[in-house]
Amino acid sequence: MNQRLLTVLVHDLAHGGAGVGRVVAPEGGGDGSEGEGESRICFVEGALPGERVRMAVDAEHKRWLRGHAVEILEAAPERVAAPCGLADRCGGCGWQHVDAAAQAELKRRIVAGQLRRLPIAVERVQPSPQALGYRRRARVHYRRSGETLTLGFYGQRSHEIVDCE
């Protein structure tokens, strides 16, 4: 199945960590092809504020589109290479593409955005001194196919098991 591709300029993050933005150009460059004049808000998994990304559309609603970044056209300065080789497929590593200091500030902004109607100040978040390996819980899933047993984590927004080897 061919997914519709759109170029999106991301300006914020949503509650779940997806980038929030608007279409700046349809795939094909604005020549009247698919996506021309698209005005719905876009939620883009794997995108950061300030980035221009190519998004594959996964779901459409009357007021919004949801998708995932398939190419980073202009990267934010906070973007780093994820230390885990499975980060782009696994559902457990959603923030590894963001440097640690920026993660703390972006998460603070998400919480502040959720509480903006309340008279509550959201203080600066203290990042963990340990960048990786600080989690206390992991949900490992398995799938048996004949004599083969596959262990791993669910992929992003799916029940497909990403084999951790």
Q: How many helices (H) and strands (E) does the chain have?
A: 1, 8
Tens place of pLDDT for every residue, the chain, 165 residues?
578 899 999 999 888 889 999 998 766 554 434 555 678 899 999 999 999 999 999 999 999 999 999 999 999 999 988 877 777 777 667 777 888 788 888 888 888 888 888 888 888 877 777 767 666 777 888 888 898 888 888 877 778 887 776
As a whole number of angstroms, the distance between CA 18 and CA 67 comes to 9
User: What ranges do the domains of the chain cover?
Assistant: 1-76
Does an H or E element contain 37, and which?
Answer: none
pTM assigned to the model? 0.74
Residue 9 is encoded by which pair of tokens? Answer: 């300029």
As a whole number of angstroms, the distance between CA 77 and CA 100 comes to 12
CATH 2.40.50.140 fits 1-76, yes or no: yes
